[in-house]
Amino acid sequence: AVDQKEYRSMIGSLLYLTASRPDIQLAVCLCACFQASPRASYRQVVKRIMRYLNHILEFGIWYSTSSSICLSGYSDADFAGCRIDRENTSGT
């Protein structure tokens, strides 16, 4: 059995990190859906996300002072992508 308090704590920590690491946002939010009754397999996924973050500690956003900044934006829409309840899937 998975300790619900520990699972929620791990999810809370990861949700905090999604502000600066949008690459994990979808995976963390999907894991957050199972906080009421976490299983061992969900806990393994959360631990895998944490191992991924530990592996990429040296990566980050770097802005050069000598070059001009060019801002590019990208968007991806998911209309009713969840096949269970037909709701939109977002990162939050």
pLDDT band at 82 (very low <50, low <70, confident <90, very high): low
CA angle 19, 23, 29 (to 5 degrees): 70
Q: Residue 25 has which token pair? A: 């946002």
Q: Residues for the chain: how many in total?
A: 92
Q: Are 10 and 50 in contact (CB under 8 A)?
A: yes
Q: Are 2 and 39 in contact (CB under 8 A)?
A: yes
CA 13, CA 11: separation in Å to the nearest integer? 5
- Helices (H), ranges, 1-92: 4-17, 25-32, 40-55
pLDDT band at 78 (very low <50, low <70, confident <90, very high): low
